[in-house]
A = this chain, B = another copy of it.
């Protein structure tokens, strides 16, 4: 960053606004929001007004919702219109979706009639669909254009287009016929026809496609932009890779949260209130706590066993912990593999067979190491055998469940990320305790 927050404060205090303006307009648009966040409240709007029209619009598209709301409420209609003019359609729609409903009419009032129509159409796409994240500003060409005509078209409308890297060749009724990228246009002869240059084997997505699937296509095909078409294959918008990265990051964060038994929340950590944090976490904690009562219930069935041999109780944390960790390892690998398409739901038996062999290997090693420890510490061979057998059974079960449940969830069109460590651990606990006391009572004749 070329300007420090202190310097801005100083220039404001000295009322050297012209100097501040020059300095500010050298800052990268993506760094403006962080600067504004650090300013005193009363200076935020003042500083924002010093930005050039272009920079103001670009910086706006990087801001978080609360900062945007503050600005929208302080700017005049004319200023707001300037900002909105600079936004691409996907950012405009994002803004309208996140603003409180009392502000929305004002936002719609300052955009022109044609854009208002487009915005209203975009607002209708389901949340997290390709339609909801696409933008409508792209370069459209015709098959019978020459390179010279195409270049002219790009010059005419390119400035308002989110990307000119990929151009879209449309028929008269806007059906997507081909794509051609700017590199090919530039290195071809002036009288070449677009139809002789365009790629007709096109990867496109439908407007209602899930945004997570869209990010997978970007990951797989390395495109800079993907065309979004309606059911009649008419081009309605494009999604650019920078937006796909944002979606990807959001989806990953959501997976992390779900896998840690948190109800996902779109706000950032510090912007989320204590109450909201508690709310996102309490549901799963309650479910898992009450489920753990089942394990507790099983333990009470074996009161006699551990009344006779109290040492049995000492191994409960280790067995539960190991079961949980083993299940978590398997479920994490499977969930992540499903998210990156490395694993498909049809691989279920292949994965299960792999996990079974891994579990056997890991279980035996753990049983042996723990056995040695138990014999050294308590001089009790029988206990080493009981705990060892329990460990092997627990590891196999944990890895089987950790592998099966996410794959089953995927098959049932549920989110595999729910079938993660917390749930698996709780399930494995029940079985491992049951197995433990069964083996113990059988072998010890209790």
Interface set of A (CB-CB < 8 Å, partner B): 2, 26-28, 30, 151, 154-155, 158-159, 161, 164-165, 182-183, 186-187, 201, 203, 218-224, 241-242, 244-246, 248-249, 252-253, 256-257, 259-262, 268-270, 274-275, 277-278, 281-282, 284-286, 288-290, 292-293, 295-297, 299-300, 303, 306-307, 310-311, 313-318, 320-322, 324-326, 328-329, 331-337, 340, 342-343, 347, 350-351, 354, 357-358, 361-362, 365-366, 369-370, 373, 377, 421-422, 425-426, 429, 433
Contact = CB atoms under 8 A, between A and B. Distances in A.
Contacts of A365: 278, 282, 286
A261 B347 contact: no
The majority secondary structure among interface residues of chain A is: helix
A329 B281 contact: yes
Contacts of A421: 260, 328, 421
B370 A322 contact: no
A374 to B, nearest CB: 9
B313 A269 contact: no
- Chain A to chain B: the 10 pairs with minimum beta-carbon distance, closest first: A260-B332, A222-B242, A296-B314, A292-B318, A295-B317, A278-B361, A303-B310, A274-B357, A292-B321, A277-B358
B310 A354 contact: no
A262 B165 contact: no
Nearest to A332: B260
Contact of A186 (B158, B290, B311, B313): B158
Contact of A262 (B2, B285, B332, B366): B332
B289 A315 contact: no
7 contacts: A26-B201, A248-B249, A269-B334, A275-B361, A281-B362, A285-B362, A289-B369
B183 A288 contact: no
Nearest to A359: B278
Contacts of A324: 324, 422, 425
B350 A221 contact: no
Contact of A320 (B183, B297, B317): B317
A45 to B, nearest CB: 24
Given A30-B221, A203-B28, A248-B245, A422 B336 contact: no
B164 A182 contact: yes
A429 B288 contact: no
Contact of A221 (B28, B268, B366): B28
A116 B259 CA distance: 46
A328 B30 contact: no
Contacts of A158: 183, 186-187
Contacts of A161: 183
A321 B203 contact: no
A345 to B, nearest CB: 14
B261 A329 contact: yes
A365 B286 CA distance: 9
Given A164-B186, A186-B164, A310-B300, A325 B224 contact: no
